[in-house]
Amino acid sequence: MTEKRQTAGEKIAENTRMDEYTYPLPEERIAKYPLKERSQSKLLIYRNGKISHDFFENLVDYVSSGSLLVFNDTKVIQARLEFRKETGAKIEVFCLEPKTPADYMLAFQATGSVTWRCIVGNLSKWKGQTLSRTITTKRSEFNLFAERIGEEEGEQIIKFLWNNKEVSFGEILETTGLTPIPPYLNRDSEDIDKRRYQTIYSKWKGSVAAPTAGFHFTDQVLKELDIKKIARTQVTLHIGTGTFKPVKSSTARGHKMHTERFLIRKEDLLRLAGNKRIIPVGTTSLRTIESLYWLGSKTKQNPAINPDNLTINQWEPYNQDVSLSRNEIVEILLEFMDKNGETKIEASTEIMIIPGYKFRMTDGLITNYHQPHSTLLLLIAAFVGPDWKMIYQYSLENDFRFLSYGDSSLLLPD
């Protein structure tokens, strides 16, 4: 039997040993709560191999005029619903993504019933019976029911029904759901999380994890960026729980990257053209614009591709020798949109960015600190090279706060 030949991407991943991408992270260095003021977080500045630090409120001092910041405007939903059986056992249903209807907006607008892909806590206690709970809003009181109707790829398919056609599922989540804070915080969600586990510019509901690099922005910071003529644009990538999934294999090759949906509107795509210094705010914004590059390459090769089936596979970017410029990519995607009568591009990506990846759309990065053995730490190592170790060591030695509610960094390799 002929052995399957490895692709270029798989070879790079096979040589990416995960024991080289870890660091000691004491529990006390994980920020369990946000600071009182968002912009009072520390800001590490890494530029041309040199490190300094300041406070995030002074970000404008370190970003050049004419740069373009790319924000992920996804909004975290109150995705965790708690039910109790008659025995008193608690069952937690964590809504991951809508199944029927599959469109997020339609799912949130649904009245009467909706079906979601979910993770269920204390699943062994749920023997198949319908769960129910009473929900009280300012307008009415009604019952919400949950039924298990199947399982797909280890996730439960849950049908929710409620006996009030005037209330949408989005309203149910907002009034009854709990904030899906990261598991490494080791605490229950609290009232403060509903407001602070969210960026101030969040707009489109759909994430079950936040684009945490944006937590530090305030209206004042944004105003100062505008005064200095630092431009902004938006993408939308709905973040799933896969972002917390550690790499358990010995090499990056053994990790199956999670899939996430994203979109960019025509007016935001246009802003990526030109000779601007592009600085994504967060790894999800970076992941989106790098995926856009490969979408442009794909649609150039196959202009007849169905716009409903756009996807970038995990190792796909490593297997292509493409030399298109950013402006060319933008023009290709605009032409594709016009041809298909679209005002936005929607797609999915599994892209896994590891050392050896060549960045095409990204010149700098604003990001928080990431877990050892994580795909996000691999991305940072890909972006700044071996200096990631120096950056993290400096941050540990200078009392930086780590992970979602922690401090920030501005990475400018060149």
Residue 321 backbone dihedrals phi, psi, to 5 degrees: -110, 90
Long-range contacts of 1-10 (CB under 8 A, 24+ apart): 7/315, 7/318, 7/319, 8/315, 8/318, 8/319, 9/314, 9/315, 9/316, 9/317, 9/318, 9/319, 10/253, 10/315
pLDDT band at 4, cuts 50/70/90?
low
Q: How far apart are CA 410 and CA 402, in angstroms?
A: 15
pLDDT band at 2, cuts 50/70/90?
very low
- The pLDDT assigned to 18 comes to 92
Mean pLDDT of the chain: 93
- The pLDDT assigned to 275 comes to 83
* Domains of the chain in sequence order: 8-75+196-412 (3.40.1780.10), 79-178 (no CATH)
- Both tokens of residue 329? 């990519």
Average pLDDT (258-273) is 94
Average pLDDT (232-242) is 92
Do residues 285 and 214 touch, judged by C-beta distance below 8 A? no
Average pLDDT (9-33) is 93
pLDDT band at 1, cuts 50/70/90?
very low
Tokens 């790079």: give the residue: 12
pLDDT higher than 90, residue 246 = no
Lowest model confidence (mean pLDDT) among 17-21, 164-168, 235-239, 405-409: 164-168
pLDDT in tens, 190-212: 999 999 999 999 999 999 999 99
pLDDT band at 245, cuts 50/70/90?
confident
pLDDT in tens, 103-138: 899 999 999 999 999 999 989 889 878 999 999 877
pLDDT in tens, 291-325: 999 999 999 999 999 888 899 999 999 988 888 99
Q: How far apart are CA 371 and CA 30, in angstroms?
A: 10
Average pLDDT (44-69) is 97
Average pLDDT (160-172) is 92
Q: What percent of the chain has pLDDT over 70?
A: 99
